[in-house]
Chain A
Amino acid sequence: MLSIKNLQAKVEDKLILKGIDLQVNAGEVHAIMGPNGSGKSSLASVLAGRESYEVTCGDVTFDGKNLLDLSPEDRAREGLFLAFQYPIEIPGVSNINFLRTALNEIRAYHNEPPIEAKEFLRLTREKQKLVEFDAKLTNRSLNEGFSGGEKKRNEIFQLAMLNPKLSILDETDSGLDIDALRIVSNGVNKLRSDKNAFIVITHYQRLLDYIVPDFVHVLYDGKIVKSGTKELALELEERGYDWIKEPVTSESV
């Protein structure tokens, strides 16, 4: 589904990603871990097409298309979803109106007619229930006055509504209490299928107790320095990141 080869990217002349290789297939959940500043969120931003990042080298293929050639909105329409670490607020725009616009834009891209009001309502109700999203929040302005946890849950609700092929969860667990973490994880687990894939970016092993990954990768200094299965996450939890850093440092010397 997603194939990343030697991806390098910079921000304001500073190289942030220094050659990422990653293969994600349908039905898989990949966890990306790593210390602060290792490039985890940058990877998410580059894949989503944030303008401030400049790709200097490498290829990314998404479902047979060259992802890097697509505009951010076309990447979304092709089925790439980013659950933001810091979801932004848009005053006066109702959550529901925003979602309908988004859904219809994606449908139009695939030459489908706009969703009918009744069907949209049904879908909204179904997905609200699935991810335990408070119906009251659906009609409020997009993220305006939402608590940190509510914003994160709204990301998962949007994910459920838009039904993307590949979802990137950028530290969705940060700032969540244990109940919210459980609800968010349950939502993701219910949405998992053999047709879609997830990249879960996190600091903590805790999230991976709930969303069990097929693969775990450790990102450090702009590179994936270690890959393994979920046991790797446990090992990281126990030993911290320092032992991971060693080999890179010696290599780069």
Chain B
Amino acid sequence: MANKSTDILEEYSDKEYEFGFVTDIEMEVAPKGLSEETIHFISAKKEEPAWLLEWRLKGYHSFLKQPAPTWQNFELPAVDFQDISYYAAPKSKAKYKSLDEVDPELISTFEKLGIPLSEQKLLAGVAVDAVFDSVSVATTYKETLKEQGIIFCSISEAVKEHPELVQKYLGSVVPYSDNLYASLNAAAFSDGSFVYIPKGVRCPMELSTYFRINTENTGQFERTLIIADEGSYVSYLEGCTAPKRDENQLHAAVVELIALENAEIKYSTVQNWYPGDKEGNGGIYNFVTKRGICKGAHSKISWTQVETGSAITWKYPSVILQGDYSSGEFYSVAVTKNKQIADTGTKMFHIGKQTKSRIISKGISAGEGQNSYRGLVQVGSKAEQARNFTQCDSLLIGDRCGAHTFPYIESKNKTATIEHEATTSKIGEDQIFYLNQRGIDTEKAVALIVNGYAKEVLNQLPMEFAVEAQKLLSISLEGSVG
């Protein structure tokens, strides 16, 4: 019996990446390479104030001084930072007053991706900011949101319209010197989303940003800043795709979340960057710094991520639990197949007293995929009665993939309670046969098993995205089991 089980789990043909098309549109692309000149160019293009240019330059100088990190559980490919273009924007208009002015080619690109931008067609209750290469194309429902004082726009626009908020919070959670890629982002970030929810307002709809890398040899360095003022609530979702290309592309984003007293931010990601082909050619390097701070008491930040794309995913959405009684959550499903690598997890910094954190990580490895969970739970000396619960599960499909777990726990307070659970399982031949015997073919059987396994995380996603994510999981694993 045993010798057959590996046969069952052997390879299948590769499922095509669905979003691998290229949009043919005239672009304005900055010359390759990063220098003070490039930064001046980007800043000027965006008509930025002097303080921001200065901040970018600080980021640049910090970038020059920093070595590449060495602690990751994969061979970090050498990225030639001078071979990347740091700015690419659709040529037509720098700024759109309404959707009618947007190039129809762009609109149709987002429609192909299942992101209709015309507001009446949108799923009720989702406002979208669409970022194409470096520039925010359109933000829907802006007016509706404005009535409640909610600001949802591109970060470039926020710099102009709400400089006081941007200047106060930009870099306050992820400083320009945080790490190599965060410095690079500070220097070269092109666009991204900005959200501000005023005191006591519960955002009436899901806010969503959709990122699309299109142009060759460009990096995407968006920056997202979300501020939830006292007693407010917001649920935010980001999605992303890129065309199929033989060379690797760099995506080095930064996301900063700030939750003031009694505020709650729920941040969900469905990441579907191009993962590269079966042999591991091409694909996105997804090196992202995401961090939130629970600044006020009783505040809450929750990260949910479904990671199915990218050649390499390297990110640790984290929460600084500064406010007393604040809580942080991290729910993750990461899928690696073929030669994909994911090194992902979270960091929970317990600073305030009675702070709570919960980490649920579900790794799925297929083909020759390598999946690492890396997490840090740190309890400071003043974090009385801090509590953490961590569960990391790994699911293996086939016998050439790998799952690794690197949990770090540092506690300086004796009253803290920290729990860690971990399991590793394989999709069994018996499970598949059982489902086959009920008329369900192997592909669907695997999808069913995987979705069941990831359910606890998928349940955290807003309804319509949970359905998308389920489909995405099934598609991603199609072909990984025979």
A residues neighboring B (CB under 8 Å): 11-12, 48-52, 71-73, 75-77, 81-82, 84, 87-88, 90-93, 97-98, 101-103, 105-106, 109, 141-142, 158, 162
> Which A residues touch B449, using CB under 8 A?
90, 93
Is B451 in contact with chain A by the CB < 8 A criterion? yes
* Least Cβ–Cβ distance between B265 and chain A, in angstroms: 27
Q: How far is A14 from B453 in the complex, measured between Cα atoms in Å?
A: 36
Q: Is the CB of A51 within 8 A of B441?
A: no
CB distance from A72 to the nearest CB of B (A): 4
A171, chain B: closest CB distance, angstroms? 16
B-to-A contact residues, CB < 8 Å: 1, 3-4, 7-8, 428-431, 433-442, 444, 448-449, 451-456
User: Is there an interface contact between A106 and B439, defined as CB atoms closer than 8 Å?
Assistant: yes
With the chains together, A151 CA to B337 CA distance in Å? 33
Q: Which 5 A-B pairs give the minimum distances between C-beta atoms? A: A92-B452, A93-B452, A72-B436, A102-B438, A92-B455
Please, how many angstroms separate the alpha-carbon atoms of A92 and B454 in the complex?
8
Q: When the two chains form their complex, are residues B440 and A48 in contact, meaning their CB atoms are under 8 A apart?
A: no
Interface centre among A11, A75, A87, A98 (most CB of B within 10 A): A98
Q: In the complex, which residues of chain B have a beta carbon less than 8 angstroms from the beta carbon of A71?
A: 436, 441
CB contact under 8 A between A88 and B428, given known A11-B1, A101-B444, A141-B452: yes
Determine which of A76, A84, A90 lies in contact with B452 in the assembled complex, contact meaning CB atoms within 8 Å: A90
- In the complex, chain B residues whose CB is within 8 Å of the CB of A88: 428, 430-431, 434
A68 to B431: give the CA distance in the assembly, Å.
21
A128 nearest CB across to chain B (Å): 17
Binding site secondary structure of chain B: helix
Question: Would you call A51 and B8 a contact (CB within 8 A)?
Answer: yes
Contact between chains at A72 and B437 (CB < 8 Å) = yes
| CA–CA, A88 and B133, complex, Å | 48
> What are 22 of the A-B contact pairs (CB < 8 Å)?
A11-B1, A12-B1, A49-B436, A49-B437, A50-B433, A51-B433, A77-B439, A84-B434, A88-B428, A88-B434, A90-B434, A90-B449, A93-B448, A93-B451, A97-B448, A98-B448, A101-B444, A102-B438, A102-B439, A105-B440, A105-B444, A142-B452
Q: Let me know if B431 and A51 touch, CB within 8 A.
A: no
A12 to B3, CA, bound (A): 9
**Bound CA span A90–B446, Å:** 11
A-side contacts of B440, CB under 8 Å: 73, 101-102, 105
Please give me the residue from chain B that is nearest to A106 by CB atom. Answer: B439
Name the B residues within 8 Å of A97 (CB-CB).
448
A142 shortest CB reach to chain B, Å: 8
Which residue of chain A lies nearest to B447 when distances are taken between CB atoms in the complex?
Answer: A101
**Chain B residues, CB < 8 A from A106:** 439
A90 touches B4 (CB 8 A): no
Nearest opposing residue in chain B for A102, CB measure: B438
Instruction: Assess whether A72 is in contact with B433, with CB atoms less than 8 Å apart.
Output: yes
A72 to B455, CA, bound (A): 27
With a 10 A CB-CB cut-off, give which of B440, B444, B451, B455 has the most chain A CB atoms.
B440
> Is B437 a contact of A51 with CB atoms below 8 Å?
no
Q: In the assembled complex, which residues on chain B have CB atoms less than 8 Å from the CB atom of A102?
A: 435, 438-440
* Bound-state Cα–Cα, A98 to B437, Å: 12
A88 to B436, CA, bound (A): 12
Residues of A within 8 Å of B444, CB to CB, are 101, 105
Q: How far is the CB of B66 from chain A (nearest CB, A)?
A: 42
Decide: B434 and A101 in contact? CB cutoff 8 A.
Answer: no
A90 B448 Cβ-Cβ under 8 A: yes
